[in-house]
Amino acid sequence: MFQKKINILFVLFFIGLLVFSCVDDDVCDKVTTPRLTIELDSLGSKYKKTRLYVDRKMPDGSVHSEGVFLGKDSIQLPLNSLSDETVFYLYDTLHTPDSSKNIITIKYLTDQQFVSKACGFKVIFNEVTYDATALTTIKSITGQTNQIYNESSTNLRIAY
């Protein structure tokens, strides 16, 4: 009988320890490393692209699909935080040959900034430059910022 009470107290103590050991800092509820925000425009006003395919060239040379964006006037794309550049291929139809794809290279320096105990560090992209390696359907690209530290502002404007 006495042993049963000790076991119950031990279980209650263990459950209490689990419940009260977590604090609010243990949950990271926000995106840490910012993505590149691209605004699409035509003749100086926002332009909704009916369909836009985006691929990203990986450091090993392979190409990874970032997805298909339908009816968007702005998109957000992740930059490679382990490299000093990211190459994107943008095109309108699925089976577009490589010679007809728009190629944009983004070069940058990375820096880490502490966010919180739960989130850890985020990467800040400094001295960002945008290079139109090959443009087929895009008329021009214009860099809006040379630092990417959040996703609330446009970093690159693409004119069709």
Q: What is the pLDDT along the chain (160 residues), one digit of tens a residue?
A: 667 777 777 777 778 767 666 655 567 777 779 999 999 998 777 778 889 999 999 989 999 999 999 999 999 999 999 999 999 999 998 888 888 999 999 999 999 999 888 888 999 999 999 999 899 999 999 999 999 998 889 999 999 8
The confidence score (pLDDT) of residue 24 equals 57
Task: Work out the end-to-end distance of the chain between its first and last CA atoms, rounded to an integer number of angstroms.
Answer: 81
Q: What angle do CA 76, 151, 159 make, to 5 degrees?
A: 50
Residue 48 in contact with residue 73, Cβ under 8 Å?
yes
Residue 113 in contact with residue 121, Cβ under 8 Å?
yes
The confidence score (pLDDT) of residue 4 equals 76
The confidence score (pLDDT) of residue 47 equals 77
SS3 23: coil
